[in-house]
Chains A and B, each alone.
Chain A
């Protein structure tokens, strides 16, 4: 009887490890959030941002870049190449996206910050990446964000690059289960 139960314990290990495989997904996210790895940016409410002390003596260059993924049918670019900011002060920036398709599309922008060390000091209080963006056929629209660079940003960092990748959510998520496999 004792031997039999020991064997059932053995079966529990694979079951638990299968679960652990899935558990690695949230662990990975939390780990990236905590360490700012993977360019995951910090976030802050507007109210909190107003209480940050501004570091008047320091200027940090923030660069903006954009990229598109796979079959995304947009023109997508930042409205300014870069700006000089004082840590602790809120700034607004914007990107412009033009839907080049003759049909409505939905996009999702994914941010990333380089160098990775700076990511957790780059806080967005408002961002078009917080929600999916719907575009009418051929619509052109300005996409806005408001950000604050944390005054605690390490001294050796003088340039922070913010990158957005715009994903076509129509074809990747919504239609994916059935239409994509027929195309292959």
Chain B
């Protein structure tokens, strides 16, 4: 059990691999196994959430109601969001952290391996509960992923299932985050000071603190919904002295740090990939760390920009507008640093680099539309329109997701020992990039023209752009099958990868063999 202690005493007798059979995956405490589980889980959920998105886009291909009834449409929008946030992006980040953090800081494993197993295995049960509501009388949750009362309190039996599944997902990610913090603080190799840590480690370190600070607030908010509905409390019921607007404040106190939880690790991934393929050191390492920390701190004082239209006083609107715009400064520092890293570098454009470049360009587009939304007077026009949908999909899909996919391509040869099919990877990148823009760019226009979000029907003048978006959606969805094929091909075989894999790659993870042994760094390396 305690590989850490036994290895120190009698070194070489214990280099065994994993136990055979399926139980390996259930009982494993190995960070690489758990990372693999997280990543596969995330990929499966990506396809489930993607099918829901395609149901939405199919219905929106034409005005009027043709494919699904409005109540089911609302369930699709709600569950698509919950799955993509809690089931895809967050588990993918935790999976990458599990695989790479110990190898990047020179640790033998995560600090709390058994809790690691637990935090993964809670997830399938949480999502089984959430998805089971689709097959119940009354259907799944349909009040939007933000579950605003009083509407969400009219949900039928799905509400308690949703709330308990959010509790489970929260417990899982809090345990994952504590594990990551403990690993980084206690298990770094001798000589690896905080300011020598790779940026992926740094961004995760900060993200983990965000997670343990705000996931419990969400848990509190949904617990209040639960007691309001079933136990006679009146947190959000005006008749009993409560206030539905208060839910929005509590929810977005969680929700805004949450959106940085969804992007900061991708910043880290891109900060690993770009220097490798530019064959230069990352420009402005220190400022990257400080920028990440400032973004995280600012995220706690900007939440009400999600609710400019609830009737806040002018002073409040000004405060939240200016603090929100302030976030553009550290974010701009990061974009500047990525571009400066590439400046005069000997760049090559393998698939991970393509995804990182796509990230920098398209995330910046999403960032700019975010700045537009940050301006209070303009937000009154854009609030709850497709412009908002376009904004957050730009930062999440070609932002967070492209970062994750880039990271997977970057480390896939290390994990499997085989090079992936570069041609297929390039095809995957170009198809994804073209279709993601066909999918989301027209949403800016229909949003500016006033098409509200979360509706199954729309005015006829929006038809053309919606049809373009739907075509883009199917193109993007089908392109992801290439990714699945590529990953399976790479696991099964291919050109052998050497330990270094990429010419310009720096860091401890490239000093071990590809694939790495089941237990790495049992005697920890010393960093000079």
Say whether A associates with B.
yes
Chain B residues near A174: list those with CB within 8 A.
232
Interface positions, chain A 1-18, Cβ under 8 Å from B, are 3, 6-7, 10-11, 13-15, 17-18
B146 at interface by CB-CB < 8 Å: no
Interface contact A18-B112, CB-CB below 8 Å: no
B225 to chain A, nearest CB (A): 12
Q: 4 closest pairs, A vs B, by CB?
A: A21-B220, A167-B239, A18-B216, A17-B216
Establish whether residues A17 and B212, one from each chain, have CB atoms under 8 Å apart when the complex forms: yes
> With an 8 A cutoff between CB atoms, is B246 at the interface?
yes
The distance from the CB of B70 to the nearest CB of chain A, in whole angstroms, is: 17
Closest to A166 in B: B239
Q: How many Å lie between the Cα of A37 and that of B315 in the bound state?
A: 11
Instruction: Tell me, yes or no, whether A47 is within 8 Å of chain B by CB.
Output: no
Which B-chain residue is minimally distant from A12 (CB atoms)? B212
CB distance from A25 to the nearest CB of B (A): 6
Q: List 17 A-B contacts (CB under 8 A).
A: A7-B182, A10-B182, A17-B213, A17-B214, A20-B216, A20-B220, A21-B219, A24-B250, A108-B240, A110-B238, A116-B311, A169-B240, A174-B232, A177-B232, A181-B156, A184-B156, A184-B157
Question: In the bound complex, what is the Cα–Cα distance between A173 and B230 (angstroms)?
Answer: 10
B167 to chain A, nearest CB (A): 11
Quick one: CB contact mask for B307-318 with A, threshold 8 Å, 1 for yes? 000011100100
A48 at the interface (CB under 8 A from B): no
Q: Does A45 contact B (CB under 8 A)?
A: no
Q: Complex Cα distance A169/B156, Å?
A: 21
Q: How far is the CA of A169 from the CA of B138 in the complex (A)?
A: 26
Q: Mark B234-248, 1 if CB is under 8 A from A, else 0.
A: 110111110101100
Q: CB-CB < 8 A to B235: which residues of A?
A: 25
Nearest CB of B to A5, in Å: 12
In Å, the complex CA distance between A79 and B403 comes to 64
Q: Which of A19, A28, A167, A176 contacts B238 (CB 8 A)?
A: A167
Q: Are A21 and B111 in contact (CB under 8 A)?
A: no
Contacts of B237 in A (CB 8 A): 172-173
Contact B232 A173 (CB under 8 A): yes
Q: In the assembly, what is the distance between CA of A177 and CA of B240, in Å?
A: 14
Enumerate chain A residues within 8 angstroms of B219, measured Cβ to Cβ.
Answer: 18, 21
Interface residue? B93 (CB, 8 A): no
Q: Are A3 and B216 in contact (CB under 8 A)?
A: no
Closest to A11 in B: B178
From A174, which residue of chain B is reached at the shortest CB distance? Answer: B232
Q: Are B217 and A177 in contact (CB under 8 A)?
A: no
Shortest Cβ distance from B234 into A: residue: A173
Residues 395-429 of B, flagged 1 when their CB comes within 8 A of A and 0 if not, give: 00000000000000000000000000000000000
- Residue of A3, A14, A25 near B174 (CB, 8 A) is A14
Which chain B residues lie closer than 8 Å to A22 at the CB level? 220, 224
| A177 pairs with B239, CB closer than 8 A | no
With the chains together, A88 CA to B314 CA distance in Å? 28
**Is B362 an interface residue when CB atoms closer than 8 A count as contact?**
no
**Does residue B355 face the partner (Cβ distance < 8 Å to A)?**
no
Interface contact B230-A7, CB-CB below 8 Å:
no
A73 close to chain B: CB less than 8 A: no
**In the complex, what distance in Å separates the CA atom of A18 from the CA atom of B216?**
5
* Residues A6 and B213 in contact, CB atoms below 8 Å apart: no
Which residues, 69 to 101 on A, are CB-close (under 8 Å) to B? 69
In the complex, what's the smallest C-beta–C-beta distance from B207 to chain A, in angstroms? 14
B43 an interface residue at 8 Å Cβ cutoff?
no
